Amino acid sequence: MLSLNKGEHKELVYINEPNLDLSISQAEDSVLRIVVIDYPHSTPSRHVLDSRHTIEIHHAGTNCQTEIYALAYVSNKDCVHTCTRVKHDIGGGTSKQIIKFVLDDQAQGSFQGELKILPDAQKVSAFQTNRNLLLSQQATMRTQPQLEIYADDVKASHGATTGQLDESALFYMQQRGIDPATGRKMLINAFMQDIIDQISDETLREQVRQQLE
């Protein structure tokens, strides 16, 4: 169990780290940003990856801020499961989660997002979004947002979408001379971009961007 002190700012970045198990408690006015990016590379010798991330956040003091950004680009028969549990015990805090999956081949992804706002946690803003891009007919995604809100003066929203690459955008690009393979890459990169942008270390950010492209 990790804890953030009063007013502490922390950024945690995990690139290709399997089976994260984080449990973090935040004291008042602390600011936490977590970026989790997975893009397992396949090698013939490697076993199928089955990674389960659990990220638990607990707002123990007032005015805490939490941002969770997660991206998994999974192919072959690999699986990535991400579970977030954000609990607002006390009022005034904000939490923001953007969780994205890009699934190719027979890859599987799942997202479970538990968000709990307890009765004393008034004036909380909690925002959760899960967007998934399926690149193959055999890829599967399960998504399960779970909101439990016991306070009455809060702003909370959640949304989940799962879709495929936009065929009309691909044709538009082709009509400008861009072949479908390049067009597809551009659309996938566009989908992933806002998560990669969250890594504040420029060197690492560019390295991740290049490896994903």
Which parts of this chain interact with other proteins (CB under 8 A)? Answer: 166, 168-169, 171-180, 182, 186-187, 189-191, 193-194
Minimum distance of other proteins from residue 125's CB (angstroms): 24
Q: What is the CA radius of gyration of the chain?
A: 18
Cα–Cα distance for residue pair 107/96, rounded to 1 Å: 26
Q: Which is nearer to other proteins, 27 or 187 (CB)?
A: 187
Q: Which is nearer to other proteins, 148 or 179 (CB)?
A: 179
Q: Which is nearer to other proteins, 148 or 194 (CB)?
A: 194
Residue located via tokens 């590379």: 41
H, E, C per residue of 13-79 = EEECCCCCEEEEEECCCCEEEEEEEECCCCCCCCCCCEEEEEEEEEECCCCCEEEEEEEEEECCCCE
Q: Which is nearer to other proteins, 90 or 99 (CB)?
A: 99
Q: Which is nearer to other proteins, 169 or 212 (CB)?
A: 169
What are the φ and ψ backbone dihedral angles of 187, each rounded to 5 degrees? -70, -40
Minimum distance of other proteins from residue 168's CB (angstroms): 5
Minimum distance of other proteins from residue 162's CB (angstroms): 16
Minimum distance of other proteins from residue 20's CB (angstroms): 26
* Residue 100, token pair as written in the block: 């994205």
* Residue 151, token pair as written in the block: 């306070």
Minimum distance of other proteins from residue 165's CB (angstroms): 11
